[in-house]
Amino acid sequence: MTRTALIAGRGRLPQLLVERLAAAGQDVVLAELEGFESLSAAHDDVIRFRLERLVLYLDRLQELGVTQAVFAGEVHRPRLDPALIDPSTMQLLPRIMAAMQQGDDGILREVISLMGEWGISVIGAQDICPDLVAAPGILGPHAPKASDKQDAARGFDILKVTGQADIGQGCIVARGQCLAVEALPGTDAMLAQLTVLRKTHPALPPGGVFCKAPKPGQDRRIDLPALGPETVSAVHACGLHGIAFEAGGVLLIDRDEMQARADALGVFLWAREAA
């Protein structure tokens, strides 16, 4: 039987994968990066690790017979403490530092490469839970208007540029104008900031669409963008008409609840076919 390491960050997704893997009778090893705990509150068998001791962690997974891994949950780039770097990981430091200079995508590619060197293949969360991604179409009774579709097209054009620059996976467009671009603070911060700006800057165009998509060329086994019920509430709170996201490229967390909330609030959910 394949033994899978679930490497968790913050949020709901790791627990969803735990439940799905358990239901399938899969043999799972749970792990968390220190500072980004989510599973250890409910599970007492979680391995915690630091990047400064990455080789020791990979050796441990190998000893446990892990042959594949899935990454799930929110993780930001942690600060490295030089005093904690063990000798074996020190030898990898030039590779790690070079990857960090290439941005988040560079780091993720290096992580996948390193795991492969330890005989561990990386799979995506969508490989375990295919229902987390949506086929093209409108989810629910609310559909985008012609103007919303124009804003979405503009938003996806913007995401191609920001994604190539490794900036973010989301933006907000209203009447053809870009009101916000997602950066390091993330989706919640961007939507909260727009809610405040709309109260203090009445000249901002009303309505608008929140657009979400993977970065061009990114490895979709790690860091697929995600949406959930709270995103729907935040979109409604800042006066947007809906969410346009790339079909097959965005994880929908607690999808039934997300769709029910969108239906109740009058927010459209559009799984837009990739251009």
Q: What is the pLDDT of residue 106?
A: 73
Strongest mean pLDDT among 26-35, 73-82, 97-106, 143-152 = 143-152
Spatial distance between the Cα atoms of 207 and 21, rounded to a whole number of angstroms: 40
High-pLDDT (> 70) share of the chain, %:
98
pTM above 0.85, yes or no: yes
**Most confidently modeled of 23-32, 51-60, 230-239?**
230-239
Note the pLDDT of residue 104.
66
Per-residue pLDDT band for 74 (boundaries 50, 70, 90) equals: confident
- Cα 211-37-115 angle, rounded to 5 deg: 80
Residues 50, 72, single domain; the answer is yes
Asked whether residue 12 falls in the same domain as residue 120, the answer is: yes
Q: Which residues contact 202 (CB under 8 A, 6 or more apart)?
A: none
Domain's final residue, options 107, 128, 149: 128
> How, if at all, do strands 3-8 and 27-33 pair?
parallel
Asked if 251 and 226 touch (Cβ cutoff 8 Å), the reply is: yes
In the 8-state DSSP scheme, what is residue 227? E
Strands 251-252 and 226-227: parallel
Do 189 and 117 fall into the same domain?
no
Residues 7, 104, single domain; the answer is yes
Residues 226-234: what's their mean pLDDT? 96
pLDDT of residue 202: 86
Which pLDDT score, from 0 to 100, does residue 105 have?
66
Q: 139 with 256, same domain?
A: yes
- 118 and 148 co-located in one domain: no
Q: Are residues 172 and 101 in the same domain?
A: no
State the chain's mean pLDDT as an integer. 91
Residue 79 has pLDDT above 90, yes or no: no
Tally the domains of the chain: 2
**Which of 128, 157, 184 is a domain's end point?**
128
**Domain region containing 152:** 133-272
Banded pLDDT at 52 (limits 50, 70, 90):
confident
Tell me: do 221 and 102 sit in the same domain. Answer: no
Q: How many CB atoms lie under 10 A from the CB of residue 137?
A: 11
- pLDDT category at 192 given cuts 50, 70, 90 is very high
Overall average pLDDT of the 243-267 stretch: 97
Final residue belonging to a domain, choices 128, 157, 175? 128
User: What is the pLDDT at residue 103?
Assistant: 65
% of the chain with per-residue pLDDT over 90: 64
Contact at 8 Å (CB) between 206 and 239? Answer: yes
Residue 190: which CATH number? 3.40.140.80
The mean pLDDT value for 17-46 works out to 87
Residue-level pLDDT at 62:
94
| Least confident residue range of 14-18, 19-23, 107-111, 212-216 | 107-111
pLDDT tens-digit readout, 93-135: 888 778 777 766 677 788 889 999 999 999 999 999 999 999 9
CATH of the domain at 71: 3.40.50.20
Same domain, 14 and 120: yes
- Asked if 87 and 187 sit in the same domain, the reply is no
- Same domain assignment for residues 120 and 198: no
Same structural domain, 138 and 216 = yes
